[in-house]
Structure 1
Amino acid sequence: MCGIVGLFIKDPKLEPELGGLLSTMLDVMCDRGPDSAGFAVYGAGAPGAVKLTLRGPAGTDFAALGGRLGLPVAPRDTHAVLTIPAGREIEVRARIATLAPEVAVISSGSRMELYKEVGLPADVAKRFNLAGMAGTHAIGHTRMATESAVTTDGAHPFSTGPDQCLVHNGSLSNHAGVRRELEREGLRLATQNDSEVAAAYLTHRMKGGDSLGSALEHSLEDLDGFYTFVVGTESGFGVLRDPIACKPAVMAETDQYVAFGSEYRALVDLPEIGKARVWEPEPAKVYFWERAA
């Protein structure tokens, strides 16, 4: 049992409140996943720049690492965001591996920042000051580990492509076979978590030319098990439940936002929720919202 939340802002006036609203939603899901939590926020980006989200052991001197790299870095607890010219990503990743092999790059993208840690979700959100973050959309996850160890590596979201990440409630029965296929195609996964396999699967399909919607539709054929996926991309977020849809899910939409929660109580503090269209997403149906260019 895990908790998923997602919020897509339609009204730009609400963008400064994104982090605060998602933090409240995440707090409510603490009892669905008390061992770890994570979230991805899509905020402002700079033309020609890429954000690398770094994670290191407690006490990592990210400022010193940024100084050695000659690049601006913004530390947040055990994580930091390094902003680099887009054409230098491969070089900078290689230098990080040499200068600070204990530091992991957990996401990259023009707009996405990703944070996750072991601990009560409410505490994790406070450690990274989620309430102070602004942006257009965000997704989050609270984890109750049932098939793997309670580690930061095992926490969601998982990101396997630029500005793309996934949170998952459920279990995939054929993830080992899918993992082997992906590895034969050259993908390298960092954990044994089935959710990372799902994220990598979607990334692989999209690199092959699929849209997110098409990749999610193909996953209904290629991924077996019971699951709810919420996926973030640079331009929006998508939702998919398996054909049986045994995992709980509810959505709400107003003129200001679209919201997702594993339970309705995650949505009750959103603005004007009483006027929202509220529904349970259909099994095996892809939902996707995208911001205007």
Structure 2
Amino acid sequence: MTEILRLAAFTDIPDGGNPAGVVLDATALDGSAMQTIAAEVGYSETAFLTRIGTDRTYDVRYFSPAAEVPFCGHATIATAVALAQRDGAGDLVLSTQAGPVAVRTQAEGEDVTATLTSVTPHVEPPLTDDEVAPALAALHWSADELDPQLAPRIAFAGARHLILAAGTRERLANLDYDFDALKTYMSERDLVTVDLVFRQDATTFHARNPFPVGGVVEDPATGAAAAAFGAYLRALELVAPPVRVTIYQGEDLGRPSLLLVDLDAGDGGIHVTGRAVRIPDQLA
């Protein structure tokens, strides 16, 4: 029988953060079986370790309830914490479809913190108003509700995310979008989530991530989008590295999450830090 662990990532409480399934030994499973398990688990992603090396290296695949995704940040954090709980803290490397992702875990008693370093990120050229308009229409947002200082862009740090910045916290809090229309828009552009953000101050942000292409209305914590957003901030010179950016997500869903994003100078990978805790059976 396949053992499926359940952890909440980017939180220190079981009913916070973003739940992830983790299968530490999926060597006997094919893609179809993984997709079936992910759908049964029902979380936004489940991670499957498909090859276990002798030097703390692993091949991993990520599945949402509806599709495989190239990279998932919160399931990476959950997987690293589960490995640290089983094998002890330290450094490891996860080979993803997007490329190798280094992860460092540190333990203080039973508490484990994990920091992933994304693949080399990039930010795509500016979008035209016509390119952004269908996304705004699906979200039921208008262009004058955006923050004019944070231009819409697509950023990548393992997966592609459209970044849209709300001008007010109230606009971000009021999320009632057209699921099918946004799914179509994203599928046509190979987007994994839409990263909706609000800037509280220079290095503090609130985020929400619709995820209709994965069969999920909204992610309560999205490490891959946090990494992509970090790349966006650095590329557009909206922060001055080295710097730590704090992202609060999941508050509007009742699953508060904390994502810490560290940006180095240059164009290297983005560091995303979070904790993860096991989800008791009664909450799973």
The structure where strand makes up a greater share of residues is 2
The structure where helix makes up a greater share of residues is 1
Q: Same fold (TM over 0.5)?
A: no
Q: TM-score, length-normalised on structure 1?
A: 0.27
Ranked by relative contact order (alpha carbons within 8 Å, sequence separation 6 or more), the top structure is: 1
